[in-house]
């Protein structure tokens, strides 16, 4: 089977997310390398109580997942990351050194946390079509309560970003329109919208001084959901992703068009696995956190 790796974004982190790597030497080396850069063991902050801790934990978990799989003969032909997951994808694709990714993600999360110390966030709407969600957003703008479509995860699953009060208004309109779910998310910053333009500017400056290489496998970008094959495009994507709408459903479609037949979601969680299974039932999607190496090798067609 052709394997694609999926790297989750903020909101998937949880206490105990690193338990999957206990006793694994390949993953252990990742934690030691991270300790050398961060000055602490990422395993002690797996709950991601702050934006910085959460994004660092997701990067470390993603890279540890890829290294564990590779050490067991499961090599990917394509990668895609949701939000901060793009950095783990870039490291796995050989486009960015892990140590550099740690420094950039720490800068990214710190800038986001500083810019939005409170009063902002994100919210999920499930069960409405895109046109209805866009109408809800337009209604908020007309009332002087702007919110933004941050993620298009599936044809009927969206994430909005903005001020807390404006989000509550949008959620009320979504419930009135018949949404199956309309809830705030445990995310303290309004990611993937124009409010994050200053963070994108900061990332562009930081990444300009870091070596980014052409990937050794297909890297599906965040901002455009297309395959990026050169260093310049990947550098731009890693910076732009923070302030641009993420069309994850399109990224999944691109992976399927690349003939990936097995999608493995890196630690933590199974959010991306569920989205892939619902959108493309002909493609096998599994979460590493819930799978043994033996079963993954069998799915990949390895002895």
Active site residue ranges: 83, 192
Alpha carbon distance 282, 287 (integer Å): 16
C-alpha to C-alpha distances, 28 to 42, 65, 165, nearest whole angstrom: 11, 11, 43
Q: Dihedral sign for Cα 219, 76, 90, 46, please.
A: positive
Structure tokens at 158: 């969206």
Alpha carbon distance 80, 221 (integer Å): 7
Strands 3-7 and 120-126, by their bridges, are: unpaired
Find, among 194, 193, 199, the residue nearest to 152 by Cα. 193
């Amino acid at each position: 089977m052709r394997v694609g790796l999926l790297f989750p974004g903020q909101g998937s982190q949880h206490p105990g997310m690193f338990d999957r790597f206990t006793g694994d030497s390949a993953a252990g080396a990742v934690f030691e390398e991270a300790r050398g850069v961060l000055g602490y063991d990422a395993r002690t902050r797996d709950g991601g109580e702050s934006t910085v801790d959460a994004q660092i934990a997701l990067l470390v978990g993603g890279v540890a997942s890829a290294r564990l799989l590779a050490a067991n003969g499961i090599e990917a032909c394509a990668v895609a990351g949701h939000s901060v997951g793009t950095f783990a994808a870039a490291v796995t694709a050989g486009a960015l050194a892990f140590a550099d990714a740690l420094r950039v993600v720490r800068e990214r999360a710190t800038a986001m946390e500083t810019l939005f110390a409170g009063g902002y966030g994100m919210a999920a709407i499930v069960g409405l079509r895109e046109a209805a969600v866009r109408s809800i957003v337009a209604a908020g703008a007309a009332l002087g309560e702007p919110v933004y479509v941050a993620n298009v995860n599936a044809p009927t699953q969206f994430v909005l970003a903005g001020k807390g009060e404006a989000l509550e208004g949008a959620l009320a309109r979504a419930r009135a329109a018949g949404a199956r779910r309309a809830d705030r998310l445990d995310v303290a910053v309004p990611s993937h919208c124009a409010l994050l333009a200053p963070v994108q500017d900061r990332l562009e400056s930081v990444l300009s001084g870091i070596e980014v290489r052409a990937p050794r496998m297909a890297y599906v970008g965040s901002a455009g959901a297309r395959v990026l094959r050169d260093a310049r495009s990947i550098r731009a994507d890693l910076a732009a992703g923070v302030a641009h709408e993420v069309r994850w459903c399109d990224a999944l479609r691109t992976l399927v068009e690349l003939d990936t037949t097995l999608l493995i979601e890196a630690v933590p969680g199974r959010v991306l696995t569920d989205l892939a299974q619902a959108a493309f039932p002909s493609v096998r999607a599994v979460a590493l956190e819930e799978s043994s190496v033996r079963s993954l090798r069998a799915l990949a067609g390895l002895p």
